[in-house]
Amino acid sequence: MGPLPLLALLALAPASIREFDLPTSDARPHDPAVAPDGSLWATEQKANKLLRLDPASGQMREYPLRTPDSGPHGLVVDREGRVWFTANYKGYVGRLDPGTGKVDEFPVPGSKTDPHTPALDGRGRVWFTMQEANKVGRLDPRSGKMEVRDVPTRGAKPYGLEIDAKGVPVFCEFGSNKLASVDPETMAIKEHVLPEGARPRRLAIAADGGVWYSDYARGYLGRLDRSTDKVEEWPSPGGRSSRPYGIAILRDGSVWYSESGVSPNTLIRFDPRTKQFASMPIPSGGGVVRNMVATPAGQLYLACSGVNKVAVAAPAAEPRKQ
């Protein structure tokens, strides 16, 4: 399936997108997060900072990290508003108190550590993937105890990570055609095989427990039912080279993701009920949307890495049919 013409993409308009320039040039915003107060947070990987945006006023504030060249990658915000992030270059999980600017560091054990994507469970524990080390980790902030486990498949490159409603972490194996679930108590890892050649990069978990993932290598949107290991997949509108990447699910069940292999990058909406796609270009071009997050208010927060922007997408009430 070839890419849709640009005019067709413009006609669909599933959302309106507001983009915001970052204060620091070439900061490389990598991942976004949403805070309890509705603010947008993002890592600035090259600037060694974290960013807070108030979408209503457009006001921004940057928080420098105390260890140079930490390479902040992913981040999440807990119920108290503290920001947890992964320092990809320096091998630690960090915690920022926005009120004081204080940063606490929790080193990841091992000689080759590269904490990648974090997620918080209902008990306040921080889970994270380690792409090159081929491990998954867990930090208990109350005790400071950190544990890591090897992924069974060699070269699996654990990448995107989410936690389901039952507290079970699920992650992508970007180096293989697998997703994996982690027992939240024993940290035992169960792998789920996807179609040959699939390379899942990011995932989002629906209310029914279904795992939706972006197949970066084959240009597909996929869904895994972990209870049966059944996989469904649909070709992305941009074709096999569209490189689906950041993905999120809104409360209405709609699945949203970005195609990073087309220019300009696109924002895609998929309706699981009708199996219909709607697509639009990202105004700035996107510069690769590596991750996105759904907000309780029904919006999407995006980090547009290559164009040094963050964005807020407000979905239309009902996308037009193709």
Give the pLDDT mean for 289-311: 97
112 vs 314, higher pLDDT: 314
- Give the C-alpha separation, 150 to 129, whole Å: 10
CA 131 vs. chain centroid, Å, equals 14
User: Residue 131 pLDDT more than 70?
Assistant: yes
Can you list the domains of the chain with their CATH numbers?
A: 6-315 (2.130.10.10)
Mean pLDDT of the chain: 94
What is the token pair recorded at 196?
A: 């040959």
DSSP 299: -
**CB 39 within 8 Å of CB 53:** yes
- What would the two tokens of residue 189 be? 């890892």
H or E stretch at 59: none
**Predicted confidence (pLDDT) at residue 2 exceeds the cutoff of 70:** no
Least confident of 1-10, 64-73, 117-126, 201-210: 1-10
Does residue 305 sit in helix, strand or coil? helix
- Which DSSP symbol is given to 82? P
Question: What pLDDT sits at residue 1?
Answer: 36
**Distance (Å, rounded) from C-alpha 55 to C-alpha 10?**
24
Q: What residues form DSSP beta bridges with 13?
A: none
Lowest mean pLDDT among 21-30, 37-46, 308-317: 308-317
Percent of the chain whose pLDDT exceeds 70? 94
pLDDT value, residue 73: 98
| pLDDT (0 to 100) of residue 318 | 56
Element (H, E) at 252: none
CB 159 within 8 A of CB 171: yes
- Per residue in 67-114, pLDDT (tens digit) is 999 999 999 999 999 999 999 999 999 999 999 999 999 999 987 789
Cα–Cα distance, 138 to 124 (Å, whole number): 11
Determine the pLDDT at residue 110: 86
Distance of CA 204 to the CA centre of its chain: 8
Residue 251 or residue 11, greater confidence: 251
Residue 13 confidence (pLDDT)? 66
Check whether the bond before 264 is cis (ω within 30° of 0): yes
| Number of residues in the chain | 322
Beta strand 289-294 pairing with 276-281: unpaired
Rounded to whole angstroms, the Cα distance separating 231 from 135 reads: 25
The pLDDT confidence band at residue 10, using thresholds 50, 70 and 90, is very low
With cut-offs at 50, 70 and 90, classify the pLDDT of residue 207: very high
- Distance (Å, rounded) from C-alpha 315 to C-alpha 286? 17
Partners of residue 200 on adjacent β-strands: 215
Residue whose structure tokens are 């915690």:
95
- 316 class by beta-carbon count within 10 Å (0-12 exposed, 13-18 middle, 19+ buried): middle
Return d(Cα 286, Cα 304) in angstroms, integer: 5
Q: Name which of 7-11, 143-147, 190-194, 252-256 the model is least confident about.
A: 7-11
Q: How far apart are CA 303 and CA 42, in angstroms?
A: 7
Residue 227 · residue 251 · CB < 8 Å: no
Q: What is the pTM of this model?
A: 0.93
CA distance 264 to 306: 12
Sorted by sequence, the CB contacts under 8 Å of residue 305 that are 6+ apart come out as 28, 29, 30, 287, 288, 289, 290
